[in-house]
Structure 1
């Protein structure tokens, strides 16, 4: 079963079960997927759906920071619920050690020696880490290892 089909099935189950918060979050996911499909006139595969979910996760994390700094804890809590639903559809996150190993392999494979080569390294890492690690944090680790 494709990831998109699984999300659709879970939406039906949430409707039947009357789980309104989960249903609302799944509808947001489906809307984001459908928007990208319409914009690009394609059917998204699992990797593309994961990219959409990853982007949604990043947006939610940024929103939580803003809501908390503004003292809007009820809105931050709603965003956190959405994050939990989105994470159900993402692959298992990688450990720090696994991320570090993948960074080292990418640096070695690309022959990167300075911060100027960061794009090459990130280009190799992104497909392997999409949805499994915070790319912002990974970028910081790569920069540190390249002496930036």
Structure 2
């Protein structure tokens, strides 16, 4: 049997692309070194906690580093959640306005805009990344394809 690549790829995400660890930053070597330095500071804090509390260092040192890395991830996710995103699925501005009004009625800060692309005005829906699940739920309820996950 000849060796052929499989037509189906096994991926971790439904969109076929690997998720980055940080959503708002593309780190180079210096950036990753800064993240590592933050983790070292967290480990040193854990070691200091060992001296103060008498807890074994094999427990507090990695916990301090993990807590520092979790803080970096939490700050990145918070920044990403507050970033606006746009979605366009139709050329009909009244349809976009109808969905934006329904989302606003549901308590989501969504607006209907027009984006200039290649000398065409494309109606788009603008909302915050943190509201993705609620927006996707509203799209499914309206019988429309939900926006892709960012």
**The TM-score by the shorter chain falls in which range?**
under 0.3
Higher strand share: 2
Higher helix share: 1
Higher relative contact order (CA 8 A, sep 6+): 1
What is the TM-score of this pair, normalised by structure 2? 0.27
Q: Which has the greater radius of gyration?
A: 2
